[in-house]
Amino acid sequence: MATLLRVLSSCILLLVVILNLEAMQSKCEYKQWGNKIICTGEMQKYLRRRVFSEAIANISVLEVCNTDLTHLEGSWYEGKNNLTTLKISFNLELKKLGNNSFNYFPSLENLDLSHNQIESLNVFIFYPLTALNKLKLDHNNLQTLDAGVFLSQKKLITLSLSGNKLESLRNDVLSSLTMLEEFYVNDNRLNHLDSTSFVSLESMTILNLSGNNLNVLPATLFTYQKKLKELHLDRNNISTLNAELLSPTTQMEVLSISDNKIRKISSAVLEPCVRLKHLDAIRCPIECDCSFKNFYQFCAVRSIKTNITCEGRKYDLSVTLRQMECGIMDKSTIVLIVIIGLFILGKLTEVLLGYITKSRSIFDKRRTTEHVNEYVYVEYPLDAKSKADDVRPRERQRYMSVLHVPLNVYDYLRPIQGQMFNTAERQQRSFEPELPESSAPSRPTSDFYDVAM
């Protein structure tokens, strides 16, 4: 009985909706396989009569597509409802949304505003939609996003902004989206990303940045994206990938970098991505050299499914790499090692020649005339008068023999000053070396030597 009543009530509701919509000269269609109404046609005339809320009071899914709407005011829908999904798309003249356009949708979970002509979003427009999980704003004319526009979307999981005219993404716009998992911002005009652009998006698993004007990605761009699984960077102007860019993304499974200006790609970039399954790098001008062969072999060892083409070699890439002969090091590395070796050899030769030159200079300096006087003094024979007058012949002979025997060694260690042994003063000076007056001991008498002998 209850089932029969439910069927009858649904039929009555359907009849009321059809009658109301036909009365308002608006084309609407009811999908019988779901609790959904699709409205098309002259919606402006229909909304001005303010009976739209009565027609769809018990509907959970509403689609307003291909209508003549130019703007949505706050009064376009009033009253309680059970709507969980609202799609307002493909309205080619819809450019403006009122500040309170969504005030009466507290249970709304999915909102699709794609393929319209929306140019701006008021900072309070999404404020009542606290239960929103999915928001699509694709293919509009958005150029900027105000800070705090998504402030109340704490539960948002999917955000799509593709096909707009955005030039930048600031952290103050995305700071409240801590639960966001899927972020699509492809086909915009992004030319720069700050290192803090995605700081708050720690739960993000899919990021699509393809079809922009990005040249360089900061090395710390994905510092907090440890759950990232898919990254799409196709159709940009990226020329290099920093080795530290993907270091935090250990859960990465899909990486797409096709249609960029990348010429060199190293295995160090993919080393942290231990779960990577698919790599797409087609239509990049990658040089097909030995370093790329090592990278290709690295992907094969990791069982990464690759879609890569080398510059000038679009087919049979695996055959080309197998035929390529590569040693342990490529030519550039060998040339660098040779240059460094020649530089080190030159420095060692310079040091050795300097040491030899300095040694010979020291040897020549010690072979001067003042050193020759030592030999003259030592080898000069004692005359008869000196022998007769000297009271200490033994001490003098011993002194002379000590100087004479180690002469060759002594000559290099501590040469005697030549001015003490000039030939002109040889007859006037005694062979006894003179000591300074302050330290000269008193000369003992001859009686002392006679007793000692």
Alpha-carbon separation of residue 15 from 12, 35, 145, 178, 401 (angstroms)? 5, 14, 43, 44, 142
Do residues 198 and 111 share a domain? no
Query: Bigger pLDDT: 246 or 318?
Result: 246
Residues in the chain: 453
Q: How confident is the model at residue 314 (pLDDT cuts 50, 70, 90)?
A: low
Supply the pLDDT for residue 74: 73
Do residues 316 and 195 share a domain? yes
Q: How confident is the model at residue 423 (pLDDT cuts 50, 70, 90)?
A: very low
The 10s digit of each residue's pLDDT in 130-171 is: 999 999 999 999 999 999 899 999 999 999 999 999 999 988
The answer as to whether 8 is a domain residue is no
Q: What is the rounded average pLDDT of the residues 205-210?
A: 97
CB 264 within 8 A of CB 240: yes
Specify the CATH number for the domain of residue 207: 3.80.10.10
Supply the pLDDT for residue 237: 95
Do residues 211 and 301 share a domain? yes
Do residues 192 and 284 share a domain? yes
Do residues 53 and 186 share a domain? no
Supply the pLDDT for residue 104: 84
pLDDT above 90 for 376: no
CB 90 within 8 A of CB 117: no
The 10s digit of each residue's pLDDT in 328-346 is: 455 566 778 888 988 898 8
The helix/strand/coil state of 284 is: strand
Cross-strand bridge partners of residue 86: 62, 111
The answer as to whether 349 is a domain residue is no
CA–CA dist 254, 357 (Å, integer)? 67
Output DSSP code: residue 445.
P
The 10s digit of each residue's pLDDT in 270-286 is: 999 999 999 999 989 98
Q: What's the total number of domains in the chain?
A: 3
16 token code pair: 């009321």
CA–CA dist 10, 13 (Å, integer)? 5
Q: Which residue is it, tokens 């040249």?
A: 215
Do residues 195 and 137 share a domain? no
Do residues 215 and 322 share a domain? yes
User: What percent of the chain is modeled with pLDDT above 90?
Assistant: 39
Supply the pLDDT for residue 202: 94
The 10s digit of each residue's pLDDT in 222-261 is: 999 999 999 999 999 999 999 899 999 999 999 999 999 9
pLDDT above 60 for 395: no
Return the half-sphere exposure (C-beta side, CA atoms, 13 A cut-off) of residue 248.
16
CB atoms within 10 A of CB 300: 12
pLDDT above 90 for 103: no
Do residues 198 and 293 share a domain? yes
Nearest to 59 by CA among 100, 14, 6, 110: 14
Output DSSP code: residue 380.
P
Q: How confident is the model at residue 409 (pLDDT cuts 50, 70, 90)?
A: very low
CA–CA dist 101, 110 (Å, integer)? 15
Query: Bigger pLDDT: 117 or 24?
Result: 117
Supply the pLDDT for residue 334: 73
The answer as to whether 424 is a domain residue is yes
The pTM score is 0.67
433 token code pair: 């070396």
The answer as to whether 63 is a domain residue is yes
The answer as to whether 72 is a domain residue is yes
Do residues 115 and 24 share a domain? yes
Do residues 225 and 311 share a domain? yes
The answer as to whether 295 is a domain residue is yes
CA–CA dist 308, 175 (Å, integer)? 36
136 token code pair: 């699509």
The parent domain of residue 406 ranges over 367-431
Query: Bigger pLDDT: 7 or 261?
Result: 261
Choose the final residue of a domain: 326, 352, 376: 326
Supply the pLDDT for residue 133: 96
Cross-strand bridge partners of residue 134: 110, 158
Supply the pLDDT for residue 28: 60
User: What percent of the chain is modeled with pLDDT above 70?
Assistant: 65
The answer as to whether 345 is a domain residue is no
The answer as to whether 30 is a domain residue is yes
Return the half-sphere exposure (C-beta side, CA atoms, 13 A cut-off) of residue 193.
24
Do residues 320 and 408 share a domain? no
Do residues 185 and 314 share a domain? yes
Choose the final residue of a domain: 294, 326, 358: 326
Cross-strand bridge partners of residue 206: 182, 230
* Beta strands, E only, 237-330: 254-256, 278-286, 305-310
